[in-house]
Structure 1
Amino acid sequence: MNTHHVPGSDLAVAARTVRTWLDEADRVLVTAGSGLSAAAGYDYGNQERLKELFPALHRMGLRSRYIVGVHLPPALWWGYWAVHIDDIRYTPGPNPLYQRLRALVSDKEHWVMTSNVDTLFARNGFDPQRIFTPQGDYGRYQCTSPCLRTTWDSHPLVERLLAAYDPATGAITDPAALPRCPNCGEDVEINVRIGPQFVDEPYLPAGNRLQEWLNSADNGTRLLILEFGAGFNTPGVIRTPGEHLTRHLPGARLVRVNPSHSQIPADLRDQALPVPFSTDRVLDALDGCGPNAVGAPSAR
């Protein structure tokens, strides 16, 4: 596919364009992939953090938190998930990068669509009713069958697992702590999209509301899509839909912030801006661009 990329783009120039487009927009759709959470301090590829949290698994050769396809016995599998989810999903306190993003769009009508399953948007002030997470949520788990098209709160499960977790071995020491389906008693898994068994019913209402919001725009509505950290792991979730919307909605524009994969299709070169810099650098550059400059969010 032909793409358009601006080699050596000037950050200050790009920031001024983003600020102009944002000021001109009537609505903003924030879209995000794993690169945004990595920039915010949750990098699944960070080997030092992995070694710190999972010393036993690191000794066994694990080098990334992307463990889909890794075969571990249940005691190690659930030891990993308990520590991982506790770190990613239930870490208390605000995240500065996400709060700066909230400040950036706070005076615009906006929605969020993200492939991330860490709820960092909702945990940092974005309206939970205006966030679509089609890939799931670490805060829920489901039957692997599934016997029911429903999910359950993972927090009590994680707490029970951590109480029986041995950091030295990376394993759950009490077999009774290993989770089972509350309905049928069979195996369970975290409610994230890794196969056709994924229970997506909890997320469909938000997806429908987002579609209604997009459909409600008239031909004069100016939509700005701000895309952060969406690469090619699952391009059909964030990148491709953003490009589709830009092509088919009158007045839509796309800003693609990604230090490694900021390329845009050639046919969108007049409606899209590739910004080959990290999110924090872009926000820093926006600080000095106009009266609505990004600053620290006000206390809630």
Structure 2
Amino acid sequence: MSATSSNSPLSAARADGTFRDWLGEADRVLIAAGAGLSAAAGYDYGDTERFRQLLPALYRLGLRSRYLLGVPLPADMMWGYWAVHIDDIRYGTAPNPLYRRLRALVGDRDHWVMTSNVDALFARNGFAADRVFTPQGDYGRLQCTVPCTRETWPSRPFLDTVLAAYDRESGRVTDPAALPRCPDCGGEVFPNVRVGPGFVDDAHLPAGRRLAEWLDRETTGGRLLVVEIGAGFNTPGVIRRPMESLVRHTPGARLVRINPGHPEVPADLGDRALSLPFGADRLLDDGAS
């Protein structure tokens, strides 16, 4: 299908019908998701109003989004940010309707998830945690920045300590002893997410190996459908390009790319690739409830 497909309602309806036909013909489904899926589900890092509500002190300093890596904040303000941000985006307990509808759409088909998102929204909304591969890490864990160890630790206890000492109006952690430190060497810690060569990926590699084994079995028979959602060009080497390569080298596999901003699909995949130039919220609102 052309990468320049019309986004008219009729075109969207036809594309949606093709998607559901392909889904019905699939023996296995790989959901491959980027930041666009969580943004469509209400977790938009660029949401200025949500940022203002959560972090009013940082808003008054002129900051407007949660993309704060590299912003020169003192440690007490930075950990105030991390604690509030991760508590909101990683540890919310309310079910998310969009992710729930996606889980219902997959149904009882044999499936896996690979996502660049670090918010655990798949595992928190009905997808089996042992079938979710998160190569970019997980906000649910912290690691030493040295790193002095390959061990990582659950972030919840550290964040609770920070939040107990956090002053919302100043944006500061009022007790220096509340700032997280490595339990082993006493050095600085950071969320266990891929931001540089010090990233400790040991906790995530077993899922990656299991996914690779599942995909290897797929090449011997059965039709694989890759449903890629919200994966653009911020980190195309994590989701977007590997999914294209996977379909290219897997006989009979198909790719559905759901992306309102970058829906283009490789021409060499021909009729094995479907471009859906709209957001996951629109697709799933059209009949996957």
Please give the secondary structure, in 1, of the residue aligned with 2:120. Answer: coil
What is the match of residue 254 of structure 1?
255
Paired residues of 1:219 and 1:251 also in contact (CA < 8 A) = no
Residue 31 of structure 1: how far off its partner (Å): 0.6
Poorly superposed stretches of 4+, deviation over 4 Å: none
Paired residues of 1:191 and 1:198 also in contact (CA < 8 A) = yes
Q: Percent identity?
A: 64
Paired residues of 2:7 and 2:278 also in contact (CA < 8 A) = no
- Match for 1:61: what amino acid? G
Residue 218 of structure 1: how far off its partner (Å): 3.8
Deviations 1:6-55 (A, max 9, x none): 13351110110001000000100001001100111100000010111111
What is the match of residue 137 of structure 1?
138
* In structure 1, C-alpha distance between the alignment counterparts of 2:275 and 2:164, rounded to whole Å: 46
Structure 2 residues not aligned, in runs of 5+: none
CA spacing shift, 1:190–1:30, aligned 2, 3 Å: same
* In structure 1, C-alpha distance between the alignment counterparts of 2:258 and 2:63, rounded to whole Å: 30
Residue 269 of structure 1: how far off its partner (Å): 3.0
* In structure 2, C-alpha distance between the alignment counterparts of 1:8 and 1:153, rounded to whole Å: 43
Residue 67 of structure 1: how far off its partner (Å): 1.2
Please give the secondary structure, in 2, of the residue aligned with 1:15. Answer: helix
* In structure 2, C-alpha distance between the alignment counterparts of 1:159 and 1:25, rounded to whole Å: 44
What is the match of residue 89 of structure 2?
88
Please give the secondary structure, in 2, of the residue aligned with 1:4. Answer: coil
Within-5 A mapping of 1:10-49: 10-49=11-50
Within-5 A mapping of 1:116-265: 116-265=117-266
- Match for 1:8: what amino acid? N
- Match for 1:214: what amino acid? L
How well do the aligned residues superpose, as a CA RMSD in angstroms?
Answer: 1.1
What is the match of residue 74 of structure 1?
75
Deviations 1:108-161 (A, max 9, x none): 100000000000000011011110000000000000000001100100011110
What is the match of residue 52 of structure 1?
53
Deviations 1:53-74 (A, max 9, x none): 1111111111111111111100
Structure 1 residues not aligned, in runs of 5+: 288-293, 296-300
Tell me the matched-pair count. 286
**TM-score, normalization by structure 2:** 0.97
Deviations 1:246-274 (A, max 9, x none): 10000110101111111112212321111
Paired residues of 1:5 and 1:264 also in contact (CA < 8 A) = no
